[in-house]
A and B are shown apart, each in its own frame.
Chain A
Amino acid sequence: GAVVSQHPSRVICKSGTSVKIECRSLDFQATTMFWYRQFPKQSLMLMATSNEGSKATYEQGVEKDKFLINHASLTLSTLTVTSAHPEDSSFYICSAREREVGTGELFFGEGSRLTVL
């Protein structure tokens, strides 16, 4: 199946710093990518929908100025957690949909575990 890769898989940073997470579709073009956050023992919560060439659409309660999303190409979307705080520590997961595919599956990255000290 198609491959979505995230980098880094783990990151530890100090409070107040910014962290960038990359999501790449390795063998297909992704018109749309999705960013999720998952806290321990909880389900995935959609943060935002990233559309190539346009502004991301954020879910209610997600601060767009804190979680910056850039989808500059059909194979790359980035999530930047700005001024990170310990409560931002979480498992961040991206997913991508292949362009022009109707009802097919979403492909997910391996996830990025962020720990803010």
Chain B
Amino acid sequence: DAKTTQPPSMDCAEGRAANLPCNHSTISGNEYVYWYRQIHSQGPQYIIHGLKNNETNEMASLIITEDRKSSTLILPHATLRDTAVYYCIVNAGNNRKLIWGLGTSLAVNP
């Protein structure tokens, strides 16, 4: 699976948009971009995934660059409960052997 690079930490003000970047320059054509988050001492939670097109759901938006070498997860109106470690993972979809990096620790501040 392709390796991803994320900043180790980010801060965001409550109510503002949180934009979390991820680089995956070696992504293969059949690999999807997945985002999960992990709140302290809990299991990871799925957020969103995409292949080429931008995606949006009730939790977040995923913007994938045209060359697919990077993506951005957007939390439109961050709340204190969004404080967590966010993981960007690339995977070929039918292979669930996800390789987890250290993610980005997002702190949402009041």
Q: Which residues of A contact B (CB under 8 A)?
A: 1, 4, 6, 32, 34, 36, 42-46, 49, 91, 93-95, 97, 102-103, 105-111, 113
Contacts and interface: CB of A to CB of B under 8 A. Distances in A.
Given A102-B94, A103-B32, A103-B93, A108 B101 contact: no
A109 B41 CA distance: 11
A85 B36 CA distance: 31
B44 interface: yes
B49 A46 contact: no
User: Main SS of the interface on chain B?
Assistant: loop
Nearest to B91: A103
Residue of B41, B49, B87 most packed against chain A (CB within 10 A): B41
B96 interface: yes
B44 to A, nearest CB: 5
Interface string B71-96: 00000000000000001000001101
Contacts of B103: 43
A9 B103 CA distance: 24
A105 B43 CA distance: 14
Nearest to A49: B97
B46 A110 contact: no
30 contacts: A6-B43, A32-B96, A34-B96, A42-B102, A43-B87, A43-B100, A43-B102, A44-B44, A46-B97, A46-B98, A46-B100, A49-B96, A93-B43, A93-B44, A95-B96, A102-B93, A103-B32, A103-B49, A103-B93, A103-B94, A105-B34, A105-B46, A106-B98, A108-B43, A108-B46, A110-B42, A110-B43, A111-B41, A111-B43, A113-B41
